Amino acid sequence: MGARGAMDGGLEYTQLEFGAQNGNPGSRGPMSAKRVLTLVGVAALFASCGAGSSLFVFKYGHQAASGLVYPLAFPLLCALLFMRTRKAFLACPLMIATGLVAAAVTAYLILAALMLHISSDAIPVLVGGATCGVGVTLSCAVPYRQLLSRSRLLGAALVGGLAALPFSSLVAPFGRPDPRLVVLAFAIWEAAVGTYLYAICTSTDQEPGDSSTSA
């Protein structure tokens, strides 16, 4: 998709979601109170998902199966809230793989920063968060092809990267980080990225790539 098409797609979504400022025909007008409340509720659900799954791993980390809880929770919530198509069976595993890749990228960059005597971990977690944000967006693009635009992928990178910055306070060469900070960091990231995906994929002008949705 060319730059012109990506820009047009991003502008069209912005106009439909927030309304044209000059009363242009075809605009839905400002976001309704119901829509705002829905997005707030979605953000709370994703925050609870991130917090709950990280707490579970902290509590039951000695059990081998506990490691599956966190990578599964976010894709499953996406499938329940908006990705209700048969293609979600492909998108969800891709989202899990994305999380593993992003974690590996972050760990590698943190190690490189330590070797270069760089004290701040902001850049590694920013890059890792952006990688995961773009990756889960590409995964959701399996049923929602409209996500394959430069503007939306750039938005995913910005949201994912900035929302990951709280993780920079968790990196410590020795010892375990404060569990409360870990829970907060995961809650912030999942709330930001999950709500971003939900807002785009449930916009009334957007439809999933296949027509087989559940009731």
Task: Name 44's bridge partners.
Answer: none
Task: Tell whether 97 is covered by a domain.
Answer: yes
Task: Tell whether 11 is covered by a domain.
Answer: no
Q: Domain limits at 193?
A: 37-201
Q: How far is CA 156 from CA 5, 136, 137, 171, 210, in A?
A: 18, 9, 7, 24, 23
Task: Tell whether 133 is covered by a domain.
Answer: yes
Q: How far apart are CA 115 and CA 75, in angstroms?
A: 34
Per-residue pLDDT of the chain (215 residues), as tens digits, is 444 444 444 444 444 444 433 444 344 456 788 999 999 999 999 999 999 888 877 776 655 454 566 678 899 999 999 988 888 889 999 998 998 899 889 889 988 888 887 777 888 999 999 999 999 999 999 999 889 999 999 999 999 999 999 988 776 555 566 778 888 999 999 999 999 999 999 885 455 554 444 33
Task: Tell whether 77 is covered by a domain.
Answer: yes
Q: How far is CA 30 from CA 23, 65, 82, 152, in A?
A: 10, 46, 22, 20
Q: C-alpha 89: how far from its chain's center?
A: 18
Task: Tell whether 179 is covered by a domain.
Answer: yes
Task: Tell whether 174 is covered by a domain.
Answer: yes
Task: Tell whether 211 is covered by a domain.
Answer: no
Number of domains in the chain: 1
Task: Tell whether 165 is covered by a domain.
Answer: yes
Which three-class secondary structure string do you get for 10-33?
HHHHHHHHHCCCCCCCCCCCCCCH
